[in-house]
Structure 1
Amino acid sequence: MSDLLTLREAADVLGVDVVTLVHVIDVGDTIPTPPVPKDFKDVVFAPDDIERFQIELRRRRFEDFKTEYADVFQEDDAPGARHLEFGPGWLGILMEFCDGLREFQNAGYRARLRWGKEKFGALRLFTDCADEIAAYVGERRGIAYGKSLRTCQECGEPARLRFGHSICLTLCDRHKHLVGEPDPSRDGIILDVDAWSRQQRGDQG
């Protein structure tokens, strides 16, 4: 059918890179209408698929969050700026953290989220806040970190840290395939890389 779009054509229409689009398909929650082949480079899209993928990409870019929380989310704009670089399943944790920042703002303190990322399967948030509340913001950052290690970063369902041979992510059973073949020496054994690293340093000391 001549109206089908190739992976590259669909990425161009959607304004994303091919890697991002392949990841969305690999997650499995939003997929093209034509059957998805094993080799993703052969994926094709029906014209009606584009709107569904636009909605999903908007969700992954946290567009609605950025509008709703514009008072406390001041996106990093420095050279080499970072953004919200994690899966949409952590949106609830992000909103809860920013609700806390609003409480500080309402009390007259500077408290803003600048950016965030996933690292070793956990949520890391970076803020700009008044010195007087830094410890309190840090405490709430720690709560968000802990919750992220129990929440699938793709869908928000209960999850645990999954270790593949080259990557670790916090995922539910439905999305665990994203880390590939489990590494039996670490998967299900290390559930918090930071805590495990501290323990290793302590044991060696």
Structure 2
Amino acid sequence: MTKETYGLRDAADLIGIMPSTLAYIVSAGDVLPERGVPTWQQHDGNVWNDLTKFVFTAADIERYKTEMDRRTFAELKIAYADVYQADAGPEPRGLEFGPGWTQILREFCDHLRDFNDTGRTCRLRWGKEKFGALHLFCDYDDSIQRYVEHAKGIAYGRSLGTCQECAAPGRLRYGDMICLTLCDRHSHLAAPLDQEKDGKILDVSAWSRSQRRLPE
């Protein structure tokens, strides 16, 4: 391999991410190495089969750095610095979900601004994807708990109908090992699908409660 190209691990080091994260982004299919991925065609999932054949150029490195800015919500964190306060502590959490939910997050932050404008402090600290849905965690005055929880519920509901990769209309894809809310184009990210549950269970938490598997 020449000096102008890099394997998966070296490319990930230059971008500042884990090799598994870079492999996932390639598998999503929206940002591909300019020289192609010889073991992966038409979203068939083979991207995971031979990572040693990945080849990235210096231009690819810059493109994936830009993609990571998008996936870590760099612009949003600046735009909403008045209501977003990063989690702190020995094991801080971040905004751990796909970029397709950016607009949902923006609208939630707008709600927080409305609360703050009334003199009631509310700050977004972190968020995560769990069972294909968006869960947000905040610090807020007790007096607005009901309103913040309502805003969180709106974001949760919208996430279950929005592809977490690209923001297109989507639904929960119930995989054998993972559940993700995705559009048809990105549905391969949850494959293989559980044929008995996929398309029937569209909210895992609600279904689990109905089966008495989660506390009310």
Letter in 2 for 1:148: S
Structure 1 Cα separation of the partners of residues 9 and 205 of structure 2? 38
Residue 144 (structure 1) shift: 0.3
Gaps of 5+ in 2: 40-49
Structure 1 Cα separation of the partners of residues 89 and 146 of structure 2? 25
Residue 41 (structure 1) shift: 2.9
Give the alignment partner of residue 164 of structure 1, picking from 155, 175, 187: 175
Q: Is 1:89 the counterpart of 2:100 in the alignment?
A: yes
Letter in 2 for 1:165: D
Partner residue, 2:197: 186
Letter in 2 for 1:87: G
Structure 2 Cα separation of the partners of residues 150 and 41 of structure 1? 36
Give the alignment partner of residue 85 of structure 2, picking from 69, 74, 84: 74
Structure 2 Cα separation of the partners of residues 190 and 37 of structure 1? 35
Structure 2 Cα separation of the partners of residues 187 and 157 of structure 1? 19
TM-score (norm 1): 0.96
- What per-residue deviation string (whole Å, max 9, x for no partner) do you get for residues 53-79 of structure 1? 111011001100110001000010122
Residue 37 (structure 1) shift: 2.6
Question: Alignment length, in residue pairs?
Answer: 202
Residue 8 (structure 1) shift: 1.2
SS in 2 for 1:48: helix
The correspondence of residues 103-114 of structure 1 with structure 2, limited to 5 A, is: 103-114=114-125
Structure 1 Cα separation of the partners of residues 66 and 52 of structure 2? 22
Structure 1 Cα separation of the partners of residues 24 and 140 of structure 2? 34
- What per-residue deviation string (whole Å, max 9, x for no partner) do you get for residues 73-102 of structure 1? 001012211110000000000000000000
Structure 2 Cα separation of the partners of residues 200 and 67 of structure 1? 42
SS in 1 for 2:197: coil
Partner residue, 2:134: 123
User: Cα RMSD over matched residues?
Assistant: 1.1
- What per-residue deviation string (whole Å, max 9, x for no partner) do you get for residues 161-190 of structure 1? 001111110000000000112111110010
Letter in 1 for 2:51: F
Structure 2 Cα separation of the partners of residues 17 and 195 of structure 1? 33
Structure 1 Cα separation of the partners of residues 23 and 92 of structure 2? 24
Structure 2 Cα separation of the partners of residues 79 and 107 of structure 1? 33
Letter in 1 for 2:190: V
Partner residue, 1:21: 22
Partner residue, 1:30: 31
Give the alignment partner of residue 146 of structure 2, picking from 122, 135, 143: 135
User: Which shifted more, 89-98 or 44-53?
Assistant: 44-53
SS in 2 for 1:174: coil
Give the alignment partner of residue 174 of structure 1, picking from 172, 185, 209: 185
Partner residue, 1:5: 6
SS in 1 for 2:185: helix
Percent identity between the two aligned chains = 55
Structure 2 Cα separation of the partners of residues 47 and 176 of structure 1? 30
- The list of structure 1 runs, each at least 4 consecutive aligned residues, that deviate by more than 6 angstroms after superposition, is none
Q: Is 1:65 the counterpart of 2:76 in the alignment?
A: yes
SS in 1 for 2:180: strand
SS in 1 for 2:172: strand
